[in-house]
A = this chain, B = another copy of it.
Amino acid sequence: MDFTLGELVARLGGELVGDPAIRVRQIASLEAAGEGDVAFLSNPRLSAALQTSAASAFILSPKAAALTERARILTPDPYLYFARVAQLFNPPKAHAPGIHPSAVVASSVPASVSIGANAVVGEGCDIGEGCVIGPGCLLGDRIALGAGSLLHAGVKIYDDCIVGARAILHSGAVIGADGLGFARDGDKHWVKIPQIGRVILGDDVEIGANTTVDRGALDDTVIGSGVKLDNLIHVAHNCRVGDDTIMAAMAGLAGSTTVGKRVMVGGKAGFSGHLEVADDVTVSADTNVTKTIDKAGVYTSMVPLQSHADWVKNFSHLRRLDAMAERLRELEKKLASTESREKES
């Protein structure tokens, strides 16, 4: 599968500067690119790498147009254009429709669906056209899967959950396990509260490897359309995540927290339960969202790195901050009275 640069801009737009007959067939980084590759420059600081790159063509912003004499496509957002070229050059793997003989499928599925070896699909499932259910996937009963969804090998979905169209779920993801719902019997044992809600994923959702989204306790856990969750993320029961929100790996949401639309969450960030986070908020990596955030902006609580020796010196004071503040107040008071006595005398 290869394209001329002329074909590329005919399909994807952008302004071509250079020979439209040049043939390209893959994307690559500036450093690794060779003949037939397209590379992109989104950061002008990397222009040195551009000079030495062996790519056949470049994707550049108009203001970077003069950085090279070679074939280039000018577009206001080179990274987005690059994504589109990458998709064109690397279409999803084709899966032959049909059910592998080793799979155990108790629901009827459209002929266009592909179900891999040793997968298990329970009763009453509603699997959309063109879905791919990878080897070893384990689906319970009455699960709905929207058209065109792709489950990589070894995804698990509990009963009654709903996945929208064009979802991509990665290996080891678990959708719909019970939330941590227990009432305490006096000060002794924990009594399980059956978790009778579902998980509902919107359209175009991607869920990373080994990420878990728990079913609701009473109501549902809802992940909006276009949401992208990285690996090893935990979404607790009754959470609601707004459309087009993206979370990096190891982020975690405690129960009943509502996150807005287009929120960006850094890796290892955590959210306390029962909070509301506004649309368009950015949460930095390793930050604890300990209270409701009601307006867009960037929020952070990450602890900066130090050499261990500096850390020992500095962080011992964290246990004495209140005493330091008190000593500061005391000094201010004393100095004020020194000054006032000085003035009087």
Contact = CB atoms under 8 A, between A and B. Distances in A.
Contacts of A77: 183
Interface stretch (A3-11, A13-21, A63-71, A315-323): A315-323
Interface in A317-345: 317-322, 324-325, 327-328, 331-332, 334-335, 338-339, 341-342
Contact of A193 (B82, B153, B244): B82
A277 B266 CA distance: 20
Given A192-B206, A342-B338, A321 B318 contact: yes
Given A234-B232, A270-B286, A301-B305, A171 B171 contact: no
Nearest to A287: B305
B299 A285 contact: no
Contacts of A288: 285-286, 302-305
Shortest 8 CB-CB distances between A and B: which pairs? Answer: A298-B308, A83-B183, A90-B194, A138-B153, A104-B117, A177-B209, A174-B209, A300-B311
A152 to B, nearest CB: 7
A334 B183 CA distance: 58
Copies in the complex: 3
24 contacts: A79-B183, A87-B192, A90-B196, A120-B135, A152-B156, A153-B156, A189-B226, A209-B214, A236-B249, A248-B254, A272-B285, A285-B288, A288-B303, A290-B305, A300-B307, A301-B305, A301-B311, A302-B311, A304-B318, A306-B319, A315-B321, A324-B324, A324-B328, A341-B342
A172 interface: yes
Interface in A36-65: none
A110 interface: no
A267 B249 contact: no
B234 A249 contact: yes
Contacts of A309: 298
B208 A177 contact: yes
Given A185-B80, A300-B308, A180 B118 contact: no
A149 interface: no
B209 A231 contact: no
A171 B155 CA distance: 10
A325 to B, nearest CB: 5
A250 interface: yes
Contact of A335 (B189, B234, B246, B338): B338
Contact of A177 (B29, B118, B170): B170
A153 B120 contact: yes
A218 interface: yes
Interface in A90-146: 90, 93, 100, 102, 104, 116-118, 120, 134-136, 138, 140
Contacts of A171: 138, 156, 158, 174, 177
A159 to B, nearest CB: 7
Given A83-B191, A90-B194, A93-B159, 8 more contacts: A79-B183, A154-B156, A180-B246, A232-B234, A249-B254, A288-B303, A327-B328, A331-B335
A334 B324 contact: no
Contacts of A194: 86-87, 89-90
